[in-house]
Amino acid sequence: MAQMNSSKRWSNKKEALFLEVLQQTGNVTKATTKAGLDRSLVYRQRNLRPDFREKWQNAMDQALDYLEAYLWDKAMGKDVNEVYDTEEGRLVDEKIAIFLLKAHRPEIFGDGKKRGASVEKNKGHSPRARLMKKLDQMAAKPIDGA
């Protein structure tokens, strides 16, 4: 019997490590590597298990909270190098941090433009939507001579 690759096996311990690293870094690749899990397996688990999806979201929210707190402290003049233990001695690039917060928390850090509204407005313009609308119109027309 062939032995299954260990990165294909799920365990509570690996899940906990994945979530811990995700919470600290916000980086799925780093979290899967540290936990010894395959990325596709982790995404599959997120799609199949609502409880894991919620834990994942909580970990990402915490990572974003850390990033926001770092920028807040820096803006308030605190020595962030003493407050935050930046992994591997790397400095946080504030511009990239702001970009990440805008992308993940547009309702707070966005520029005030409603992107969701333009997506909803154009939603009905997909080829499939146009085809379905046309078929509905054709079905509603009476057939001549019937």
| CA 66 from centroid of its chain's CA atoms | 16
Place of tokens 């154009």: 122
pLDDT reported for residue 119:
46
Query: 95 and 87 in contact (C-beta within 8 Å)?
Result: no
| The pair of three-digit structure tokens given for residue 11, joined into one six-digit string | 């365990």
Question: Could you report the per-residue pLDDT of 65-81, keeping only the tens digit for each?
Answer: 888 888 787 777 777 66
Tell me the pLDDT band of 112, cut-offs 50, 70 and 90: low
Count each helix (H run) and each strand (E run) in the chain, helices first. 9, 0
Give the pLDDT confidence of 122-139 residue by residue, as tens digits: 445 667 677 767 777 777
Confidence of residue 90 (pLDDT cuts 50, 70, 90): low
Ranges 31-40, 52-61, 91-100: which has the least confidence:
91-100
